[in-house]
Structure 1
Amino acid sequence: MSPPLRQLALQFAAVVAVLSLAWPYYGIRGEALPWAGVVLAIGAAAFLLAALTRQPWWWQTMHALFAPLAWAVAQLQIDPGWFLAAAILLLLVYRGALSGQVPLYLSNRETADALAELLPAHPGLRVVDLGAGLGSVLRPLAAARPDAHFVGVENAPLTWLAGRLLCLGRRNCELRWGSLWQTPLADCDVVYAFLSPVPMAALWEKAKAEMKPGSLFISNSFPVPTVEPNAIVEVGDGRATRLYCYRR
């Protein structure tokens, strides 16, 4: 079962477990369900199931809060159109989180400075940022290395558009809308990614198959499972960022 379906199944199981007890109990007594208490019980049951199945702490928290928050929002009687608008906006900005479990992470300036130190010195260098977001790495690198060419790939439409506008005027920097899985890596000297733990194993297989010998793969914060990096760079920022470097 895929991770999203697994979480839906846990939440559904909590709902069924609580309602299968609450409905008969209050039905026999001829009383209406006390929904405030029921949704709290559903949240507690979902948290317990998530903990028993050893889900990450953030999933446990989300399971505990989902039903109570959904009920609380329902009491506000907000027009459904606003929820549709919010869902569309989230899709436009955070498409990667929905389609590939890759949240929108923005690399900071300290990370860009550390990456600049890692780039090979030869002119004509080609660097690709997979999941470039707003181009927060591309823009400072393009300014620091006018002799190199930088390409970012982003699949969230609104995020891509904002990043592309921010990159305007930089001749050695471009932001493309597309999937990182469809991006060819054969002509890249350096590939940078700041994604999540989920796609790292598959992305490394793609990098091994496509990147040329001697090229460099750099992952921000998330190492490739079971693969020893050639180097680990401590950025020294407030996030305690680490750059995991793998030589192809």
Structure 2
Amino acid sequence: MSATPQRQFALQGAAVILVLSLAWPYFGWQVGAIPWLETSLAIGGVAFIFATLSRQPWWWRVMHAGFMPLIWLTQGLNIEPGWFLLAFVLLLLVYRGALSGQVPLYLSNRQTVQALADLLAERGPGRFLDLGSGLGSTTVPLADHLPDSHFTGYENAPLTWLVGRVLSLGRPNIQWRWDDLWQAKLGDYDVVYAFLSPAPMEKLWHKVEAEMAPGSLFISNTFPVPGRAPDRVIEVDCTPPRPLYCYQR
């Protein structure tokens, strides 16, 4: 089972239906109220089992295990509904990519930026594309390190795009775009960099093969392309480890 949001909702729903289909008849026969704490924990346990059996990534398993118990905990806090709406809007503004493409917000650290700067300096001035550029934690410092190169960032979450746009002001070698990464024309760039998640890597590689020119370079932070051996792996000295997988076209 793939880790699409629709499949995850279906998995959590199956756990709810299974547990409640047993709990309601049992406690109805006993003429007692359903113990919602224990029931929510049971739903979380069943959802965890379902996620494990369907080979979901570990973070989905944790989310499934904790989802219903957290709902039970939250409903007892008497929080006004407006706060939930505000939290949802803010999360959507920042983590839109996680919902639409299973790509959470990752920020590149300074060690990774330095490794990329060294690699780009070896290649000489060129055109660099950051797919899912977030707050600009990669694009902005690279543009400062390498003023003779041109840098483009694609980001589709409104709030993170806005922060990155502000941080990129005053740097003429940066183009900051609010757009979906799948709309990028990879053939326009010498180096394409992505720090996404395992979910889109296979599809992205097909796009790389179809569009990137011979001699160009595709770099994936942390997540290798499935079934494709990288031409070079740069081990970045940081914790947790974030290797750069380099694929020469």
Q: TM-score, normalised by structure 1?
A: 0.95
Amino acid across the alignment from 1:115 = L
Aligned residue type for 1:100: G
- Give me the whole-angstrom Cα distance separating, in 2, the residues matched to 1:175 and 1:18: 48
- Matched residue, 1:178: 179
Query: 1:18 offset after TM fit, Å?
Result: 1.3
Kept in 1: contact 2:201–2:224 (CA 8 A):
yes
Query: In the alignment, which residue of structure 1 is the partner of 2:28?
Result: 27
Q: Which amino acid aligns with 1:135?
A: G
Measured after TM superposition, the shift of residue 121 of structure 1 is: 4.1
Which residue matches 2:221?
220
Pairing of 1:6-45 with structure 2 (within 5 A): 6-45=7-46
Give me the whole-angstrom Cα distance separating, in 2, the residues matched to 1:238 and 1:43.
31
Separation in structure 1 between the aligned mates of residue 188 and residue 50 of structure 2, nearest angstrom = 47
After superposing the two structures, state which structure 1 stretch, 78-87 or 49-58, moved more: 49-58
How much has 1:2 moved relative to structure 2? Answer: 5.2
2:18 aligned counterpart, secondary structure: helix
The structural deviation recorded for 1:49 is 2.1
Alignment partner of 1:167 is 2:168: yes
Q: 2:188 is paired with a residue of what secondary structure?
A: coil
Q: What is the CA distance between 1:202 and its match in structure 2? A: 1.1
2:152 partner letter: V
For the aligned residues, what is the CA RMSD?
Answer: 1.4
| Local SS of the residue matching 1:82 | helix
After superposition, the Cα gap between the structure-2 partners of 1:210 and 1:78, relative to the gap in structure 1 and judged at 3 Å, is same
Aligned 8 A contact 2:2 2:56 in 1: no
Query: Which residue of structure 1 aligns with residue 87 of structure 2?
Result: 86
Query: Unaligned 5+ residue runs, structure 2?
Result: none
* Corresponding residue number in structure 2 for 1:246: 247
Q: Which residue of 1 aligns with 2:233?
A: 232
**The residue matched to 2:187 in structure 1 has which SS?**
coil
Aligned AA for 1:163? G
CA distance in structure 2 between the partners assigned to 1:51 and 1:187 by the alignment: 41
Match of 1:145 in 2: 146
Further displaced range: 147-156 or 4-13: 4-13
Partner of 2:147: helix, strand, or coil? coil
| 8 Å CA contact 2:132, 2:156 repeated in 1 | yes
Unpaired runs of at least 5, structure 1: none
Distance 2:205 2:195 in 1: 13
Does the 8 A contact of 2:128 with 2:151 survive in 1? yes
Residue by residue over 1:194-218, the C-alpha shift from the partner in whole angstroms, topping out at 9 and shown as x without a partner, is 0011111111111121111101111
Which string of whole-angstrom CA distances, capped at 9 and with x for unpartnered residues, describes residues 135-155 of structure 1? 111111111111111111100
How many residue pairs were aligned?
247
For 1:19 and 1:50, the matched residues in 2 are separated by: 18
**Code of the aligned partner of 1:233:** I
Distance 1:60 1:216 in 2: 34
> Against the structure 1 CA distance between its residues 75 and 174, is the aligned structure 2 distance closer, same or farther, given a 3 Å change threshold?
same
